[in-house]
Amino acid sequence: MKKIALILLFGMLFSNPNSVFAQAEPETIGLETDAFQEHFFEALKQKGIENHDKAIEALEKCLKLEPQNPIVYNELGKNYLKIKGYKDAYESFEKAAQIDPSNKWYWNGMYDVCYQTQDYNQSIIIVTKLIEFDPGYKEDLVSLYMYTQQFDKALALINDLNENVGKSAKRDGYKMQILQTAKYQGSEKENLVELIKKHPKEEANYISLIYLYSNSNEEEKALEVAKQLEKEIPSSDWAQVSLFKFHLNNNDGDKAVASMNQVLDSDEVDDKIKHRILNEFLIFVTNNPKYEAALEKAIAYFENENEVDVAKEIGKFYQNKKDWNKAIKYYEMEQSSNPTNLGNTMLLFQAYAENQQFKELAKNAENMMELFPSNPEFYYYAGLANNQLKNFKKAKDILETGIDYLVENKNLEINFNIQLGEAYNGLGDMKKKENYFLKADKLLKE
């Protein structure tokens, strides 16, 4: 009874193939003869248990009975493809498409073969046909153009899809790759100009065009686009990114600060761009110190920044210029908000020493000794500071304790011995003074 039910079902489905099947993948056929029926069902059974050679044998028997049946050729193609018989698979799908070119699954079979064999040029020909059945294949065509390095066609199709179906992360990645080559940037600029005319409230097009102009050193054009963006979308944070640079170049600090603050307060602008803007403003402030208060306010935007310690980095900027007062100011700012940042603390202590602020150094280093009792560097700075303050006994005790925590740090060991020599010199013990200075000299020569 089960077999009869199957026969009735297949007969009913094929009584009106155009309306019932539409473009469903063909796997069933009209059953003209008992022999044909037996061979075809045997082929389906063998394919189901992945015995593709026997499935092919059964399908060959079907072809002897019905040599122009496209569904049989389609089934042959699928079985050949499973056993990597690519030539036979392609020819089978191709024969099915020749008999019935209106069924997309036969074309899709040829595409599967071409894709698996990486015949991307032939894939393009077939996918172009498949697009007539389903425009969704345009996404495949973009990838195929990329694989065959037909970047001009890929870019044109990407822009078409972006305009008509919306953007996608994959296409954005392809587009970024294409636009790294300067020869394609001209056509993309033209495309973006037209898009801005058609969609003046679409912010992303302005941003992309500003980026392209900036990368090709067309700063005036980038500025014009930024101004146009600000006019069309006054709330745009991205307009201020370009306008900030323009205001700096014009030495208009007030407007630069306003643009910078809007960008730093934005959730839309990437952190890397914010860091770049802050660095550019920092350089501006070195020549225009009246804007230091604005710089400090800008640093506050980065208080919760985990990747970069902004105040510390600004301190290093001033330290490299040997502007110790300003370096200390920003290191102290970082220490206040992040007291466990030991890298910043060491830079602060170095700056204190260079600036001869030994009271501050002694106080801070001794506090850190209590918090981190096994860190020898804090003992060193505390000893150095007390030596400079002529607290020689205290310096000696601190240094002798700290040197016991020293492990494989030759430079710090040299400095410990020098400071111990200074402490004993201050205490009038010339023998121990010479002993520590000789240790330091020996280490220097090693």
How many CB atoms lie under 10 A from the CB of residue 290? 8
Domain ranges for the chain: 1-119, 356-446
Half-sphere exposure of 44 (CA within 13 A, CB side): 12
Distance CA 214, CA 220 (A): 9
**Taking a C-beta distance cutoff of 8 angstroms, is the pair 52, 33 a contact?**
no
Q: Give the CATH H-level superfamily of domain 1-119.
A: Tetratricopeptide repeat domain (1.25.40.10)
Distance CA 282, CA 285 (A): 5
End-to-end CA separation in angstroms for the chain: 98
Distance CA 446, CA 440 (A): 10
pLDDT along the chain (446 residues), means of 10: 32 33 50 79 92 93 93 95 94 96 95 95 96 95 95 93 90 88 85 90 88 82 89 90 89 94 90 89 90 89 75 90 92 89 94 96 96 94 96 96 92 94 94 93 88
Number of residues written out for the chain:
446
Burial class (CB in 10 A: 0-12, 13-18, 19+), 432: middle
What confidence score (pLDDT) does residue 181 get? 82
- Chain position carrying tokens 């940042």: 341
Name the fold adopted by 356-446: 1.25.40
Q: Please report how the helices 138-147 and 120-133 are oriented relative to each other, as an axis angle in degrees rounded to 10.
A: 170
**CA–CA–CA angle 163, 169, 173 (5° rounding):** 95
Distance CA 195, CA 202 (A): 9
**E strand or H helix at 329, and its extent?**
helix 324-337
- How is 395-432 classified by DSSP, letter by letter? HHHHHHHHGGG--S-HHHHHHHHHHHHHHHHHHT-HHH
What confidence score (pLDDT) does residue 185 get? 84
Sequence-distant (≥ 6) Cβ neighbours of residue 233 within 8 angstroms: 201, 203, 206, 239
The residue type of 339 is P
